[in-house]
Amino acid sequence: MRELGGDRITEAVAGCVAALRPAVARDWTEVRAGGLDWNCHETAVHVADDLVAYAANLAGRAQDAYVPFELRLDDGTDNSGLLHVIETTGALLAATVRTTSRHVRAFHPYPFRSADRVGFAGMGIAEVLLHTHDMTQGLGLPYQPAEELAESVLAHLFPHVQPGPTPWQTLLWATGRGELPGRAPVTQWRWNNNLVIPAERLDLVGIRPAEARDLRLGGDGGFEWTDGGPYEGTRDAAGFLLKAYEGGVHRPEFGVFALVRREDGRAIGGMGFHSVPDEDGRVEIGYDLTEAARGNGYATEALRALADWASARDDVRSLFATIEAANTPSQAVVTRAGFTKVSEDEEGLAFELRAK
């Protein structure tokens, strides 16, 4: 899988600079940037400010707030100089993404108060693509980024948005900048970085649609797996996630998580929800581990963390799991996690945990 990383940031920034350079002789302070309240100069400064802020938060491992500084141009900086600032801040973010471990997370408020290097890359690219669109609209310049870039942003940061006719058209619609046939206009929007639920020895790392697609096609989803992984159950779950995404019904917080061991950063299995909670607040879970990771209590630990997270929500009243009668190790996992057997039939044993 080609990760959303430094090379993509560089590509997006190069496209921005190439699109805007023909208008460097104009007064950008006098031209409104598309549908924004900012003029083109303010918008360009905002792009550069976001790029360096994302680089700083990721490099500085910020945990509770943005690193407290703000970009300020030297007096007299012209538009050519401003484009150079965008190139430079883009290069800083690209370098930071390339040199940061996948497992590092740093502060960003939306929606779960953290993002990894892929998330910061995606946010930087989104800022560049969307605001270049705004500025070129105001300046009357042509601009069309690569569809692959727009598709990557959607599949990493907009898991709740159903893919449309073309990725770029869909991204513009999803951010209130365009229309899609059959869909209502978007007036408020927010991207979604993936959820990570910590457990004692591992993290449950939310799998994005782009990663789910790679897993379903036989790839590693961008994770480093222990020997024998990922297990077929994780690939199947990724396929269901991808189907929900393509159908426009995926809710990322009720998706699939890779179980990533902290001591070595390796993924050892998958765990997640079969769907969103039903009208009674009942949600079904499933999981698997690679053979090399079994027998160490990881599944129980992860299931307890997932159950605690879900039970704290207002829309979850009970968790449910169905296990084959012959799968006694899995039955032991749910029992140790606090589930109780509620029924048994030819399809297996049903276990339930009621939210507190």
Domain membership of residue 179 (yes or no) is no
| Cα–Cα distance measured from residue 297 to residue 212, given in angstroms and rounded to the nearest whole number | 26
Under 8 Å between Cβ of 238 and 183: no
Domain membership of residue 281 (yes or no) is yes
Domain membership of residue 270 (yes or no) is yes
Which whole number is the average pLDDT over 27-52?
98
On whether both 37 and 157 belong to a single domain, the answer is yes
Domain tally, the chain: 2
Residue 66: closest CA among 55, 74, 78, 82: 55
On whether both 86 and 230 belong to a single domain, the answer is no
On whether both 42 and 77 belong to a single domain, the answer is yes
| Cα–Cα distance measured from residue 179 to residue 139, given in angstroms and rounded to the nearest whole number | 21
Under 8 Å between Cβ of 258 and 267: yes
| Cα–Cα distance measured from residue 201 to residue 301, given in angstroms and rounded to the nearest whole number | 8
Q: What is the mean pLDDT of the chain?
A: 96
Domain membership of residue 336 (yes or no) is yes
On whether both 210 and 80 belong to a single domain, the answer is no
On whether both 78 and 203 belong to a single domain, the answer is no
Confidence category of residue 227, pLDDT binned at 50, 70, 90: confident
- pLDDT tens profile 279-295: 999 999 999 999 889 99
Domain membership of residue 186 (yes or no) is no
Longest dimension (CA), the chain: 77
Domain membership of residue 122 (yes or no) is yes
Q: Does the pLDDT of residue 2 top 80, yes or no?
A: no
Domain membership of residue 277 (yes or no) is yes
On whether both 244 and 119 belong to a single domain, the answer is no
- pLDDT tens profile 260-271: 999 999 999 999
Q: Does the pLDDT of residue 228 top 80, yes or no?
A: no
pLDDT in the model for residue 221: 96
On whether both 233 and 159 belong to a single domain, the answer is no
Q: Does the pLDDT of residue 76 top 80, yes or no?
A: yes
- pLDDT tens profile 167-181: 999 999 999 999 999
Q: In terms of residue numbers, what domain contains 325? A: 196-354
- pLDDT tens profile 180-224: 999 999 999 999 999 999 999 999 999 999 999 999 999 999 999
Kindly tell me the burial class for residue 65, based on how many C-beta atoms sit within 10 Å of its own C-beta (0-12, 13-18, 19 or more): exposed
pLDDT in the model for residue 229: 81
Give the CATH number for residue 30: 1.20.120.450
Identify residue 128 by its one-letter amino acid code: V
CA atoms 155, 253, 263, 290: torsion sign = negative
On whether both 102 and 235 belong to a single domain, the answer is no
On whether both 252 and 292 belong to a single domain, the answer is yes
Give the CATH number for residue 204: 3.40.630.30
Domain membership of residue 243 (yes or no) is yes
340 phi and psi angles, rounded to 5 deg: -125, 145
| Cα–Cα distance measured from residue 119 to residue 114, given in angstroms and rounded to the nearest whole number | 9
Considering only residues 1 and 17, tell me which one the structure prediction assigns the higher pLDDT: 17
pLDDT in the model for residue 1: 59
Q: Does the pLDDT of residue 356 top 80, yes or no?
A: no
Look-up of token digits 């001591």: 263
Last residue of a domain, one of 107, 139, 174: 174
On whether both 21 and 166 belong to a single domain, the answer is yes
DSSP three-state, residue 198: strand
On whether both 18 and 146 belong to a single domain, the answer is yes
Which whole number is the average pLDDT over 102-107?
96
On whether both 159 and 215 belong to a single domain, the answer is no
pLDDT in the model for residue 330: 95
Joined together, the tokens standing for residue 241 give 């996630």
